[in-house]
A and B are shown apart, each in its own frame.
Chain A
Amino acid sequence: MRKSLLIVSLALGLSALALAQGGTILLNAAGATFPYPIYSKWFDVYHNGHPNVQINYQPIGSGGGIRQLQAGTVDFGASDFPLSDDILAQSKFKILHFPTVLGAVVPTYNISGVSGELNFTQKALAGIYLGTITKWDDSEIAKANGGVKLPNADIVVIHRSEGSGTTYIWTDFLAKVSDEWKNKVGKAAISVNWPAGLGGKGNEGVTGLVKQTPNSIGYIELIYAVQNNIPYGKVQNAAGNFVKADLAGVTAAAGADAKNIPDDFRVSITNPAGPKVYPISSFTWLLIAEQIQDATKREAIKDFLKWMLTEGQKYNEGLSYAQLPKDVIAKETQAISLIK
């Protein structure tokens, strides 16, 4: 009984595989969770237009996506952070980065008696997360929020408990604006040794802790805040203006420096110059091997990339992702020919 069941299921699996290979190109991909909603939308729409290409994406996290790509178990990966020089050097084959959409991270808070929108200076955010600013009525917070009566209460700092692209963007910003952060906690990373605070799992975990804990502050993805109507504060940019994150501001941040974007697209766009830019944002990338042996797969991936940079971008704003700036799209379109 047990054996026959095994044989039947094996046969079913094999025939399904055979069907999939007969005429259909099946691409497997895995990686970042943050862009999963837009990726699954893209893969679905693309499949409708190209019935012979089916892309199966598993949102297992950027780290897992990178490992699976290096192990050769997926056709391409996806990551919320660019691969470090070390990881690229260790890799057995060359990996190309292709930016797909933009995301931003915003501070959200819950302070007893304060309902308005708070302004955060760069020093204030760094100080709060370093644990050096411990009270809400600290002068660094108060001076940017004239007219708001801040309580003399301890700040409860909340961060992500797991490794996360959101944390990467947040710490990238903090390391850029604070030397103390850079020396003590280090460069941008998906997970750090936090000097202060509690950890929540996922955007929902951080939001839940912030909502429940009086006088707390946390950081979450912009799209999560927008979709769930979670209020968030303004952040001071390099020009000194306080900017509330929105999709246009995020695209502006990416566009501000688009001409200087490196050829491999591994770039941090936190805290760029420009009066209107929102300073805590980042690309998210598809990771593709430079050399793909299987010609049909290679052409399918290249065609999908072209579609993603043109048609695909139209779906971004409906799902609260910021579009890529035009200059970046032009540069990426050229880079597609690097895949051989």
Chain B
Amino acid sequence: MSAAATTIVNEVPPQAGPRAFLRRLRGGDEIAHLITLIFAAGIILLTSMLVYELWVNSHLSRAKFGWIFFFTKVWDPNFDNFGAAPFIYGTLVTSAVALVIAVPLGLASAIFLSELAPRKVSDVVSFLIDLLAAVPSVIYGLLGIFIVVPVMRTRIGPALIHTVGNVPYVGALFRGPNYGVGFLTAGIVLAIMVVPFIISVSREVLLTVPREQREAAMALGATRWESTWKVVVPWARTGIMGSVFLALARALGETMAVTMVIGNAPTIAASLLSPGDTIASVIASQFTEATGDLYLSSLIELGLVLFLITFILNGLARILIVATERGGGRPA
């Protein structure tokens, strides 16, 4: 970025002096460039300061536990023994459940809205979906407590235990006591929360696919569905994946709604019906009352771990996008 700035400054001929520079200013080019540059640099600065602060303030915990922190299953403020394993597990599991539910649902809705529904219906529905995306997470948490949790305890949970629970291997996911709160409930609430993002962004992306693409496919004898699934969706693949990763980021970092329905017990259990906890949720619930220095430092290190997880997953996402682009679809 700074390199670009220098080249532009150098383009001003030295003999033109301040007057030419002023004219450029009046034109707005230079100002726009400077302002956008400062703002863009600000984001980078903000991110690095965030990491720096987390790193410095988690010093005590890093010094005491080292890498063991990632694998310790205990979270015991009373004996000053802290580990991130149950929270990392909970974060990954709830986000995975959320995506497994939200991606097919979101993608199918987006395809319907952009390709099949009449334009008027599509516009009205997507307006409503955008509204959903703006609902505060605590409202989704309440929805979870009053509707999803009771239904999970009395209907879905027992139904899963008695059917899928008996299947070898997969059954381990649906066994044990069923409280209504737990990984699966948190995943479902997260799915409800992130699905508007997937629909909204994917629909926009699908709508930008050029008309000629569809016409060409149909001219070759493809049915409407074939043209949608084999031409339009692959064309929009990158954007759709972008929407999924936006949804993943929201699911990883969600605090309030998760705290309200996950059971807040740091456990690692195969069963999705078991109560658990996530990184964001434990930070939100324990930070204000954390006393000892090591306790606080460990909570901050959890923040660093969440940052790391997000960083790794985003990196993987980039790689995935590059890899699939190489395999065809939209021309670069």
Contact = CB atoms under 8 A, between A and B. Distances in A.
Interface of A: 60-64, 66, 84, 86-87, 90, 154, 156, 161-164, 185-187, 189-194, 197-201, 205, 208-209, 212-213
B264 A61 contact: no
A198 B179 contact: yes
A192 B149 contact: no
Contacts of A208: 145
Given A87-B291, A163-B291, A198 B78 contact: no
Interface stretch (B53-61, B190-198, B242-250, B281-289): B281-289
Nearest to A186: B78
Contact of A186 (B79, B153, B265, B292): B79
Given A185-B78, A189-B78, A193-B75, A201 B260 contact: yes
Contact of B285 (A87, A162, A193): A162
Contact of A60 (B77, B149, B288): B288
B171 interface: no
Interface of B: 74-79, 81, 145, 149-150, 153, 177, 179-181, 259-260, 263-265, 275, 277, 285-286, 288-293
A161 B77 contact: no
Nearest to B149: A212
A224 B290 CA distance: 23
Given A191-B290, A192-B77, A198-B181, 5 more contacts: A63-B288, A66-B291, A164-B289, A185-B78, A205-B260
Contacts of A191: 77-78, 286, 289-290
Nearest to B150: A212
A192 B286 contact: no
A163 B79 contact: no
Contact of A163 (B179, B277, B290): B290
B290 A213 contact: no
Contacts of A209: 181
A268 to B, nearest CB: 15
A208 B149 CA distance: 11
A18 to B, nearest CB: 32
Nearest to A193: B76
8 contacts: A161-B264, A161-B277, A163-B285, A190-B291, A193-B81, A199-B265, A201-B264, A213-B153
A213 B293 CA distance: 36
Given A154-B177, A189-B78, A193-B76, A63 B290 contact: yes
A108 to B, nearest CB: 17
Contact of A198 (B145, B263, B293): B263
B265 A198 contact: yes
B253 to A, nearest CB: 18
B285 A161 contact: yes
B259 A64 contact: no
B287 to A, nearest CB: 8
Contacts of B150: 212
A63 B75 contact: no
Contacts of A156: 177, 179
Nearest to A154: B177
Contacts of B74: 193
B135 to A, nearest CB: 20
